Amino acid sequence: MDELKHKTLNEQKWDRWAEGLDAKNRRNDYLRKAQHNLIALLPIKEGVSLLDIGCGTGWAVGDAAKVVGDKGTFYGVDMSAKMIDKAKENYQGRPGIQFMQANAESIPLADDMFDIIICTHSFHHYLHPDKALSEMNRLLRKGGRVYILDPTADSRIIRFADRIIRVLEPAHVKIYSTAEFHFMISRSGLRYGGCRVIGSNQKVHMGEKVY
């Protein structure tokens, strides 16, 4: 798809979603639970530097910061201006927490800044996933890790759903299989660290910056 058209459709969609993402309902409970389960796996210690790409209204950033009583640096970026506005409103006054509007494929932050990068329910929307992975590699410190939590096309039902969503939602890009995550993460220069099942049809794929 044409880049500008994809960007416009995507931004419009997520700006519309921003208002409802903090509401109490089944969909949001499902997203929060998966994010919470991911955060429980992370090696978060005092002084950690963590980035959430496609952070929505900032929920996972706030949850991660709570683990160390805000003693660290916690960033969230999202392409939707409305998501970022909500995130800033939600976490106003919390030390160490910052949000910024940015596309996952080009993030205006310095090299080697983060120990941990997370990306939840967002990666399958990226038009150029290789560019997003290359940004993750650039932003991680040596020894740092990325955790991508996403639906994973390892079953026929998810591959079928992926095809249907592509028809219904023009801005949808692709739900990847574990083999594709392994290949793309390795091609970005990170070492693929395997995956874990987090929820039904969702996996977290890990990558480590070893060089």
Ligand X SMILES: C[S@@+](CC[C@H](N)C(=O)[O-])C[C@H]1O[C@@H](n2cnc3c(N)ncnc32)[C@H](O)[C@@H]1O
Question: Taking the complex as a whole, how short is the minimal distance between the CB of residue 31 and ligand X, in angstroms?
Answer: 4
Among 49, 120, 137, 188, binds ligand X (CB under 6 A): 120
Question: Taking the complex as a whole, how short is the minimal distance between the CB of residue 54 and ligand X, in angstroms?
Answer: 3
Among 51, 61, 87, 103, binds ligand X (CB under 6 A): 103
Residue whose CB is less far from ligand X, 78 or 154: 78
DSSP 10: H
Could you tell me which stretch among 72-80, 109-117, 134-142, 191-199 binds ligand X (CB under 6 A)? 72-80
Could you tell me which stretch among 88-96, 101-109, 157-165, 195-203 binds ligand X (CB under 6 A)? 101-109
Q: Do the strands 140-151 and 97-101 form a parallel or antiparallel pair, or are they unpaired?
A: unpaired
Q: Which of positions 126-185 make contact with ligand X (CB under 6 A)?
A: 126
Contact call for residue 55 and ligand X (CB under 6 A): yes
Give which of 208, 105, 206, 205 is closest to 152, Cα–Cα. 205
To 5 degrees, how large is the angle CA 85–CA 135–CA 202?
75
Contact call for residue 99 and ligand X (CB under 6 A): no
Among 42, 56, 181, 206, binds ligand X (CB under 6 A): 56
Residue whose CB is less far from ligand X, 147 or 192: 147
> What is the separation, in whole angstroms, between the first and last Cα of the chain?
34
Residue 147: C-alpha distances to residues 41, 53, 133 (Å)? 10, 10, 11
Residue type, 190: L
The set of long-range contacts for 206-210, using a CB threshold of 8 Å and a minimum separation of 24, is: 206/145, 206/146, 206/147, 206/148, 207/133, 207/136, 207/137, 207/145, 207/146, 207/148, 208/143, 208/144, 208/145, 208/146, 209/137, 209/140, 209/141, 209/142, 209/143, 209/144, 209/145, 210/142, 210/143
Contact call for residue 35 and ligand X (CB under 6 A): yes
Contact call for residue 79 and ligand X (CB under 6 A): yes
Q: Which of positions 176-195 make contact with ligand X (CB under 6 A)?
A: none
Residue whose CB is less far from ligand X, 71 or 168: 168
Could you tell me which stretch among 117-125, 140-148, 187-195, 196-204 binds ligand X (CB under 6 A)? 117-125
Q: Which residue ranges make up the site for ligand X (CB under 6 A)? A: 10, 14, 31, 35, 54-56, 78-80, 83, 103-105, 120-122, 125-126
